[in-house]
C-alpha cells in the first residue's frame, strides 16, 4: 500500500475512478487493552470454537480480579502441531479448484496482524504497536509473545468457520502470511531474527489451515503479505519503520525468492492450493516487473508441476501496466487488483450512491477491458463494503446505500473478472462493523449466499438422483449438428476469450436452439444420444476427414460443453479463468488436433459449448427446485 501515490490518486479522481490505495491506517492512539483481557479474549472476536488441539487458557496468579502483570498473557499450554500430511494429489480436482470462478474471503489478521483488526494482541506490543514485529518483540518476553500468538492461531479461524463459508457458497480463501510464518530459519538476517523462536510452530499451523480448508472443499490462495525487507513499508508487511527495503537490497530479494520457492516446493502438489501470490500490494518500484520476472522463473523451475502452477501478482495499484504484463505472458499468471473507496478526500466528498454508480459504469468498463486483455486472468482479491461516514451522511437511507454499493461491487467483480476476495472474514468487534467484517455483512450488506449457480451442491436425498441423472446423461450434440450451426453462423467477435459476452449464460446459443428444437424437453434430449454413442460418433467424425477448421470447431464445442459438466460436478462450480483454460487445453491437445491457425475456431466454439453446458445445468436446477417444492 503506497501512501504517497499522489499522482495516481489525482488521476483516478480526474477520471471519477477514485479508490483507496490501502486498508485503514491503524489507530496509533492505543488504549490500555491489557486491562480488559479476559481468559479467552486475546486475539478473539466474539465466540470462536477451538480446533481439536486447542487447550484452555489458564489464568496465572490472579490478584484481586486482575493479573499481577497485565503484559503477561494467560498461560496457554498449546499442544504441538505437526506438519500436515495432505491427501494424494488429484490433478482433475486441482484443475477445478485452480480454474474455477472464485468467491473468496481474506483470512486477515490470522498470521499477519493489523492493529485495527486485532487490537487486543497489540496491547503490550513494543514500539509503535503497529506491526507483527512489535508483537513479537513485546509482551515482556518471546515466550509470552509465542504463547499469545499460538493461542490466536489456534482460535481465530477453525474448521467450523471453513464449513460455514462453504455452506454459503464461498469456495476459496486468501491466506495472508509473512515470511516469518515459515519458521525461524527464514527469520535469520531479518528484523525477526532475535525473536525467531516465537514462530517455531507457525508453519505447521499454516499447513493446518490449508488442510482444514481442503476438508471443507475450499481452495486456498497463499499470499505473501510480508516479504523480507518489506515490499511497501506498511505495517501489514510486518514492520513499523515505514521503510520499503526489498527492491534496493539484493540480499532481501534473494531471501524473498527463497521464501517463494519454498512455498512452491511445499504446496505445488496440494490439491486445494489454487496458487501463490508473490507479493501483496508492493510499491510500484521501477524494479518490480523485473523482480516478478525473476520470481516467476525461479518458482517455475522448482519442478515440472510448478511450470503450470498458478502464480498471482499484485499490480501495485497500476492495473493497466500489470494487465499488459500478464497479457504478454502465456503461462498461468493472474493480476490481482484491490478496490477501496474510503481513504481519500474525494471518497469523503462523494455520496455513497455516486460511488455505486462509478462502480457499475466507468470502473466496470475499466475492469472488463483489463480482463479481456489479460484473457480473464484478473481478480479483485481485496474489497469491502466500507464507506466513509461523510459518504453515508449525504444519502437518505444509509443502510440501503451501503447494500447497493456492496452488492453492486460484487456483481461487477463477478461479471468482469475470474473472482473476488472480501477483506476480511473476521475482526474484533465484528458485529459492529459490516463495512469491513464479512461475518457481519452476510445477510445485511451482502447476500446470504454466494453460490456460482445461485444454488450450492444438492444435498437433499430426493434431489441427488436427479443430479446424478443430469451428470450421467448430459451429452453434447453430435459434431454434425455443431458443424451445421457453424456453417450458418458468422463468427461472433464479442464471444472471443476474455470478453464479458463470453461469460454470459442467459441466452442459449444457436447450437442449443437447433438441437433442442429436435426434442420436446431436456429429458428427451438426454435420451437422444447415450454418452457412449456420442463419444463414438465424435470419434468417427474426427476420422472421417474433417478439415482442420472443422476439427477445431467440433473439438472446441465438445470440450467447452463437458467442461461445464465437469466443473458443475465439483461443488456446482463454473469455469472462471476461461482464456487461460482454453490456451492450456490447446497446448495439451497439440498441433495434431488443433492445427496452428485454427485456435480461434476452437476458442469461439469452446465458449459456445461452455455456455450451452452451463445453461443445461441452470435449467436443471430450475426444474429440480420446482420439483422439490
Does residue 544 carry a pLDDT above 70? no
pLDDT of 459 reads 58
Q: Give the model's confidence band at 294: pLDDT under 50 very low, under 70 low, under 90 confident, else very high.
A: very high
% of residues, the chain, pLDDT over 70: 76
Over range 295-323, report the average pLDDT: 98
| Helical H segments across 477-530, by residue range | 479-488, 500-503, 510-517, 522-528
pLDDT of 478 reads 87
Does residue 464 carry a pLDDT above 90? no
Separation of first and last alpha carbons in the chain: 50
Over range 16-31, report the average pLDDT: 41
Say if residues 278 and 257 touch (Cβ distance below 8 Å): no
- State the chain's mean pLDDT as an integer: 84
Say if residues 385 and 43 touch (Cβ distance below 8 Å): no
Interatomic CA distance for residues 7 and 362, integer angstroms: 19
Interatomic CA distance for residues 236 and 253, integer angstroms: 18
- Tens of pLDDT, residue by residue over 198-211, are 999 999 999 999 99
Over range 562-578, report the average pLDDT: 95
Does residue 403 carry a pLDDT above 60? yes
More confident residue, 24 or 136: 136
pLDDT of 623 reads 65
More confident residue, 26 or 188: 188
Q: What are the respective helix, strand and coil percentages of the chain, to the nearest 5? A: 50, 10, 40
Say if residues 266 and 203 touch (Cβ distance below 8 Å): no
More confident residue, 11 or 139: 139
pLDDT of 619 reads 87
123: cell is: 496491547
pLDDT of 23 reads 53
Q: Give the model's confidence band at 488: pLDDT under 50 very low, under 70 low, under 90 confident, else very high.
A: confident
Q: Give the model's confidence band at 484: pLDDT under 50 very low, under 70 low, under 90 confident, else very high.
A: confident
Interatomic CA distance for residues 400 and 406, integer angstroms: 10
506: cell is: 442467459
Over range 22-46, report the average pLDDT: 38
% of residues, the chain, pLDDT over 90: 70
The secondary structure of residue 247, as a DSSP letter, is T
Q: Give the model's confidence band at 545: pLDDT under 50 very low, under 70 low, under 90 confident, else very high.
A: confident
Interatomic CA distance for residues 160 and 376, integer angstroms: 32
Element (H or E) spanning 174, and its range? strand 172-178
Over range 533-554, report the average pLDDT: 67
Over range 181-209, report the average pLDDT: 98
Does residue 416 carry a pLDDT above 90? yes
State the pairing for strand pair 66-67/102-106. unpaired
pLDDT of 177 reads 99
Q: Give the model's confidence band at 214: pLDDT under 50 very low, under 70 low, under 90 confident, else very high.
A: very high
Over range 399-421, report the average pLDDT: 98
Q: Give the model's confidence band at 620: pLDDT under 50 very low, under 70 low, under 90 confident, else very high.
A: confident
pLDDT of 460 reads 56
- Tens of pLDDT, residue by residue over 101-137, are 999 999 999 999 999 999 999 999 999 999 999 999 9
Among 355-359, 592-596, 617-621, which is the least confidently predicted range? 617-621
pLDDT of 463 reads 53
The whole-angstrom distance between residue 216's C-alpha and the CA centroid of its chain comes to 16
Q: Give the model's confidence band at 79: pLDDT under 50 very low, under 70 low, under 90 confident, else very high.
A: confident
Q: Which domains does the chain have, with CATH numbers?
A: 6-338+380-389+421-441 (3.20.20), 464-628 (no CATH)
CA angle 197, 202, 208 (to 5 degrees): 160
Over range 225-229, report the average pLDDT: 98
Over range 257-273, report the average pLDDT: 98
Interatomic CA distance for residues 438 and 425, integer angstroms: 5
DSSP β-bridge partners for residue 312: 277, 334
Amino acid at each position: 500500500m503506497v501512501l504517497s501515490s499522489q499522482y495516481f490518486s489525482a488521476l483516478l479522481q480526474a477520471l471519477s475512478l477514485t479508490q483507496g490505495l490501502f486498508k485503514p491506517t491503524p489507530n496509533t492512539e492505543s488504549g490500555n487493552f491489557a486491562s480488559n483481557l479476559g481468559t479467552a479474549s486475546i486475539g478473539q472476536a466474539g465466540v470462536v470454537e477451538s480446533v481439536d488441539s486447542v487447550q484452555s487458557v489458564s489464568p496465572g496468579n490472579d490478584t484481586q480480579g486482575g493479573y499481577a502483570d497485565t503484559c503477561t498473557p494467560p498461560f496457554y499450554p498449546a499442544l504441538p502441531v505437526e506438519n500436515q500430511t495432505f491427501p494424494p494429489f488429484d490433478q482433475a480436482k486441482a484443475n477445478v479448484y485452480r480454474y474455477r470462478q472464485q468467491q473468496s474471503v481474506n483470512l486477515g489478521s490470522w498470521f499477519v496482524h493489523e492493529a485495527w483488526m486485532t487490537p487486543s494482541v497489540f496491547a503490550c506490543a513494543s514500539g509503535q504497536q503497529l506491526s507483527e514485529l512489535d508483537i513479537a518483540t513485546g509482551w515482556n518476553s518471546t515466550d509470552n509473545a509465542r504463547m499469545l500468538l499460538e493461542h490466536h492461531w489456534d482460535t481465530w479461524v477453525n474448521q467450523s468457520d471453513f464449513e460455514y463459508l462453504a455452506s454459503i457458497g464461498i469456495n476459496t480463501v486468501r491466506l495472508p502470511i509473512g515470511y516469518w510464518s515459515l519458521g525461524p530459519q527464514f527469520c535469520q538476517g531479518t528484523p525477526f531474527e532475535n525473536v525467531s523462536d516465537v514462530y517455531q510452530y507457525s508453519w505447521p499451523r499454516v499447513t493446518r489451515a490449508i488442510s482444514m480448508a481442503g476438508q471443507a472443499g475450499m481452495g486456498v490462495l497463499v499470499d505473501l503479505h510480508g516479504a523480507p525487507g518489506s515490499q511497501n513499508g506498511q505495517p501489514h508487511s510486518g514492520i513499523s519503520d515505514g521503510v520499503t527495503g526489498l527492491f534496493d537490497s539484493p540480499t532481501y530479494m534473494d531471501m524473498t525468492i527463497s521464501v517463494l520457492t519454498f512455498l512452491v516446493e511445499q504446496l505445488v502438489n496440494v490439491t486445494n492450493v489454487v496458487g501463490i501470490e508473490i507479493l501483496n500490494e508492493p510499491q510500484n518500484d521501477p524494479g518490480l516487473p523485473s523482480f516478478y520476472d525473476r520470481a516467476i522463473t525461479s518458482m517455475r523451475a522448482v519442478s515440472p508441476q510448478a511450470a503450470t502452477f498458478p502464480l498471482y501478482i499484485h499490480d501495485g495499484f497500476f492495473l493497466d501496466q500489470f494487465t499488459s504484463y500478464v497479457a504478454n505472458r502465456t503461462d498461468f499468471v493472474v493480476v490481482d487488483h484491490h478496490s477501496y473507496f474510503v481513504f481519500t478526500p474525494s471518497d469523503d466528498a462523494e455520496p455513497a450512491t455516486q460511488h455505486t454508480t462509478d462502480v457499475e459504469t466507468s470502473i466496470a468498463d475499466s475492469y472488463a477491458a483489463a480482463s479481456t486483455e489479460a484473457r480473464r486472468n484478473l481478480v479483485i482479491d481485496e474489497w469491502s463494503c466500507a464507506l466513509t461516514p461523510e459518504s453515508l451522511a449525504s444519502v437518505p437511507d444509509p443502510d440501503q446505500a451501503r447494500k447497493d454499493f456492496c452488492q453492486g461491487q460484487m456483481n461487477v467483480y463477478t461479471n468482469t473478472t475470474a473472482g473476488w476476495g472480501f477483506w476480511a472474514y473476521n475482526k474484533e468487534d465484528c458485529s459492529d462493523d459490516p463495512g469491513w467484517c464479512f461475518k457481519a455483512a452476510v445477510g445485511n450488506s451482502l447476500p446470504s449466499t454466494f453460490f456460482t449457480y445461485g444454488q450450492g451442491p444438492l444435498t437433499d436425498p430426493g434431489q441427488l438422483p436427479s443430479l446424478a441423472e443430469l451428470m450421467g446423461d448430459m451429452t453434447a450434440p453430435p459434431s454434425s449438428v455443431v458443424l451445421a450451426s457453424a456453417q450458418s453462423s458468422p463468427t461472433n467477435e464479442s464471444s472471443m476469450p476474455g470478453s464479458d459476452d463470453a461469460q454470459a449464460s442467459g441466452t442459449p446459443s444457436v447450437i442449443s436452439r437447433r438441437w433442442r428444437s429436435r426434442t420436446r424437453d431436456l429429458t428427451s434430449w438426454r435420451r437422444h444420444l447415450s454418452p457412449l454413442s456420442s463419444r463414438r460418433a465424435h470419434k468417427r467424425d474426427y476420422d472421417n476427414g474433417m478439415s482442420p477448421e472443422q476439427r477445431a470447431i467440433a473439438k472446441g464445442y465438445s470440450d467447452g460443453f463437458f467442461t461445464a459438466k465437469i466443473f458443475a460436478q465439483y461443488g456446482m462450480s463454473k469455469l472462471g479463468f476461461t482464456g487461460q483454460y482454453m490456451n492450456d487445453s490447446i497446448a495439451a491437445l497439440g498441433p495434431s488436433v488443433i492445427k496452428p491457425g485454427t485456435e480461434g475456431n476452437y476458442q469461439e466454439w469452446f465458449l459456445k459449448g461452455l455456455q450451452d453446458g452451463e445453461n443445461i445445468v441452470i435449467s436443471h436446477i430450475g426444474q429440480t427446485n420446482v420439483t422439490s417444492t
